Chain A
Amino acid sequence: MSATTFHTLEEAVDDEHYPEVDLALRRGRHIGRDDGTMYEYLVDAQALLEKLYRRFGCELIQQSDGYFYLLPSGDRLGRRHLSAGEMLVGQTLALLYLDPTTLQYGGIVVREVVLQRLSALLGADVLVRTLEPRRRSKYDERVAAELVRTKVSDALRHLADLGFVDLLDEVRLRLRPALMRFAEPVRGLGDRSAALERLVRAGEVVVDDGEHRGEEDAGTEEVSP
């Protein structure tokens, strides 16, 4: 397909891919090259769809890593922020995506590696208290390990729904380029705080000022009216 496939919005909306792509984008999915014709459709219809979604108070974003997503800037379309579990797992997966060792297996990793890396980065204690902030008392090690596995499993399922990974089976998952969104605050060489401020202004991230703590499981910030 060439960039001139669609001349009018009517043609773009009339295309067989539109309903599927539209629904996926509105549900927060990141559509990448791995999605085949859905991605190609977006590349072809990008200019026309950008205008369409702007009327809904959203930006259709295309990143250089090769994926699209919808970023609501107003309150016309629902939006949510990712939970603590999703953020931690997402950043860990992004680290694995950057690791040449993962490259050897074509971007496929097993869940155990994700858990190992996460635990090595944060330590079991911080990990448990971040994933389950309501748990104040001293925790039993076995119960805590079970809790972490459950939270990580939930996070992986949600991240798969959002197009950050593909769950191949019970054990293996394939990393997708959209994971680089988690590395966005540190991609430039400048100050991380400044980068974060820029992302907050753009509506890409929300900073947790304590308001969101304790309600991480929900992860829903606001929904459409």
Chain B
Amino acid sequence: MTFAPSHEPNRVIASLARDQVTLDLKTVELCFLAGLYLRADKAALASFEEDVLVDMFEQVCDVVEPGAENPRKRATHSIQRLREQRMLARVDGAGIVRAGDYALTTLAAAIVQYFLADEALTRESLTLLTGTLGAQLAQVLSAAKKVADAEAWRSEVSAPLRVTVSELVSGIERRQRGLDAQQEEVQAEIAELLQSDWFSAVDRCQLLLDTMTSTLDELNAILLRDTHLFVAFLLEIQGLATAAENRDAEETVQRVIEHVDRIAAWGRARQQAWSEYYQYVHRYLRDVVRLDPDRALSQRLRDQTAAWPASPYHLVVAHAPSIRLLRPPEARVERPPVARPRTEREADPAWVEREDVHADLEALVARAIDEGAATLAEVSARVLPELPASQHYASAGRIADAVGRLARVHGEHERPWTPVLARLEVEDWTVDGSDPA
């Protein structure tokens, strides 16, 4: 299947995640859908009346869950659930005026088709499909040689390539997926046969292997031959589109070529993978099953492993050290000693301004107390402006210390926080004049 440009994987995934799309189908609902699909197919019905839906649900319920209570109520619930999940659509548009008509959506049809279809690729189906595809491409090529205007290119080349050819190629791809599933079934069957019958299953396993191998060989031969032919047709059509400067047709052909290449790559990859699997199983049958017909080795090895910690032994293996590669010789590099130019680093002492912050601070505090500052906050407010702003915070503590030593202070049990200047707060004391001591 080819994605339209708007169906880029990232966008599609994001959109599905955003809408929180989920599917939840119970067995009875799946059977109900299958029943509807088959009835529509048999009677060529485009839609179902509500009564027919309920009737079908009851029939399915009788088979799938005999004895279930109140099937009519369950039918109503199931129809609602299927509508919510966009598998059933009401198509009459009559609203509540009368009971509705319902149709299966393409989603429901695809799900049922998946379970109904037994579409594995066989020699016959592949030959038929590739034959039809070849004929179709020859027809498109012939049309491409004759068309003159853009409209003709669209209707006689691009459209058949998009619809008919793409459908045929998708048909092959769908059957390839069917064959993949069949291969997995064969692999599981071989494992089950050996698990249950061991030595007696050898011939049946060999038959299964050989059958699948010859099927793949035949299919791959057809794919190799025919895809080569398809690509030749498509390249010729693309050449004509390029010459006619028809970008739309060119791109359409390119997408189909990529699709065909994918089909051919599938054939090669599956044959390679199956070949490896075939060899592995073949060796297993020869070296393990045939040499141990009673299947005793596994049990003995299991016992040995379980008992190994009590009576250990060790396999011996060769262990030659890697060849030691000597470094290439190099002349010794004389590193110069670390040095710096000689200079007189001792400087003569110089006179600087006296600096005694603590003594100054104490004098300032004493002056503030003498001038009648009644609280620690007031003392701080008078002293701090005398000091550089960068020292205000550190000095606040020193001021409290000096006040404590120079005056009698009294603090309440819960000391209030009092602002000092613009940026500080202190836990306040009452200062009661200079301490005579």
**Is the C-beta of A62 less than 8 angstroms from some C-beta in chain B?**
no
- State whether A95 touches B320 (Cβ < 8 A): no
Cβ of B304 and Cβ of A192 under 8 Å apart? yes
Bound form: Cα–Cα A98–B194 in Å: 11
> Residues of A contacting B296 with CB < 8 Å?
189
A168 interface residue per 8 A CB criterion = no
- Considering the complex, give the chain A residue whose CB is closest to the CB of B281: A103
When each residue 176-204 of chain A gets 1 if its CB lies under 8 Å from chain B and 0 otherwise, what string results?
A: 01001111011101001000100110011
| Total A-B pairs, Cβ < 8 A | 158
Chain B residues, Cβ within 8 Å of A204:
315-316
Task: State whether B314 touches A205 (Cβ < 8 A).
Answer: yes
Interface size on B, residues (CB 8 A): 40
Q: A27-B319, A177-B287 are in contact. Are A87 and B312 (CB under 8 A)?
A: yes
Task: Please determine whether B314 and A27 come into contact, CB atoms closer than 8 angstroms.
Answer: no
B354 at the interface (CB under 8 A from A): no
- CB of A54, distance to nearest CB on chain B (Å): 14
Please state if B316 and A84 are interface contacts (CB–CB under 8 Å). Answer: no
Shortest C-beta distance, B300 to chain A (Å), equals 4
Please tell me which one of the listed residues A28, A103, A130 contacts residue B191 in the complex, with CB atoms under 8 A apart.
A103
Q: Chain B residue with minimal CB distance to A181?
A: B315
Contact residues in B for A11 (Cβ distance below 8 Å) = none
The CA of A70 and the CA of B319, in the complex, are separated in Å by 10
Query: Which chain B residues lie closer than 8 Å to A81 at the CB level?
Result: 314-317
B284 CB–A CB distance under 8 Å: yes
Question: How many whole Å from A42's CB to the nearest CB in chain B?
Answer: 14
Chain B residue contacts of A122, Cβ below 8 A: 305-306, 309
- Contact between B190 and A103, CB atoms less than 8 A apart: yes
Proximity bits, B358-399, A CB within 8 Å = 1, else 0: 000000000000000000000000000000000000000000
Residue of B190, B283, B319 touching A80 (CB-CB under 8 A): B319
Contacts of B319 in A (CB 8 A): 27-28, 78-80, 220, 223
Chain B residues, Cβ within 8 Å of A115 = none
Taking chain B's interface residues, is the majority helix, strand, or loop, or is none over half, making it mixed?
A: helix
Q: Is B318 interfacial (CB-CB < 8 Å)?
A: yes
**B399-424, CB under 8 A of A: which get 1 and which 0?**
00000000000000000000000000
With a CB–CB cut-off of 8 A, which chain B residues contact A90? 315
**Interface mask (B265-300 → A, CB under 8 Å = 1, otherwise 0):** 000000000001101110110011000000011101
Say whether B187 faces chain A, with CB atoms less than 8 Å apart. Answer: yes
Chain A CB within 8 A of B195 CB = yes
Beta-carbon nearest neighbor of A189 in chain B:
B296
For residue B283, give the distance in angstroms from its CB to the closest CB of chain A.
7
| B327 beta carbon closer than 8 Å to chain A | no
A side interface size, CB within 8 A = 69
- A212 contacts the other chain (CB 8 A): yes
A69 contacts chain B at the CB level, 8 A cutoff? yes
The 15 listed contacts between A and B (C-beta, < 8 Å) are A27-B319, A27-B322, A78-B318, A79-B317, A84-B312, A91-B301, A91-B304, A91-B308, A99-B298, A101-B195, A104-B190, A130-B308, A205-B316, A208-B312, A220-B319
The residues of B with any CB-CB pair to A shorter than 8 Å are: 187-188, 190-192, 194-195, 276-277, 279-281, 283-284, 287-288, 296-298, 300-306, 308-309, 311-322
A interface residues (Cβ-Cβ under 8 A, vs B): 25-28, 33, 58, 64-66, 69-72, 77-84, 87-88, 90-92, 94-95, 97-101, 103-107, 121-122, 126, 129-130, 162, 177, 180-183, 185-187, 189, 192, 196, 199-200, 203-208, 212, 219-221, 223-224
* Beyond known contacts A101-B191, A103-B187: 14 more, CB 8 A cutoff: A64-B287, A66-B283, A78-B319, A79-B317, A79-B318, A91-B305, A97-B288, A130-B309, A182-B301, A183-B300, A204-B316, A206-B316, A207-B312, A207-B314
